């Protein structure tokens, strides 16, 4: 499947891109993270600690074991600091 991957805040800065399109068969968010880490050292560093990350699947917050079937937009970002 084709997924749009979005990065925000310091993830965006460390990876050096706000978005990218990937082809993947990863069944879950966690499996997708594994694939992304293998891309290059920037991805590996930015995505190294899942506890420091949050993920949204099609703009809804999800856990890392969430399935990707049917998904189109996956977003990674640090814990939010609005307000």
Partner 1 sequence: MIDIRVQAEPFDYGQECADFAAAQDGAGAVVTFCGIVRGDGGLEAMEIEHYPGMTERALTAIADEAARRWALTGVLVLHRHGTLSPGAHIMMVATAAPPRASAFSAADFLMDYLKSRAPFWKKEHRPEGPSWVAAKASDEDALTRW
Shortest spacing between CB 56 and partner 1, in angstroms: 6
Q: What ranges in the chain are assigned the alpha helix state H?
A: 9-15, 29-37, 41-46
Decide if residue 61 touches partner 1 (CB under 8 A).
yes
Distance (Å, whole) CA 69 – CA 43 = 23
Out of 17, 30, 31, 56, the only residue in the binding site for partner 1 (CB under 8 A) is 56
Decide if residue 16 touches partner 1 (CB under 8 A).
no
Contacts with partner 1 by CB under 8 A lie at 6, 8-10, 56, 59-61, 75, 77-83
């Amino acid at each position: 499947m084709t997924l749009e991957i979005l990065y925000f805040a310091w993830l965006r800065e460390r990876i050096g891109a706000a978005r990218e399109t990937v082809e993947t068969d990863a069944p879950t968010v966690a499996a997708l993270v594994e694939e992304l880490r293998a891309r290059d050292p920037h991805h590996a560093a930015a995505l190294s600690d899942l506890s420091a990350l949050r993920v949204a699947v099609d703009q809804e917050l999800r856990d890392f074991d969430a399935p990707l079937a049917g998904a189109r937009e996956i977003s990674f970002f640090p814990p939010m600091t609005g307000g």
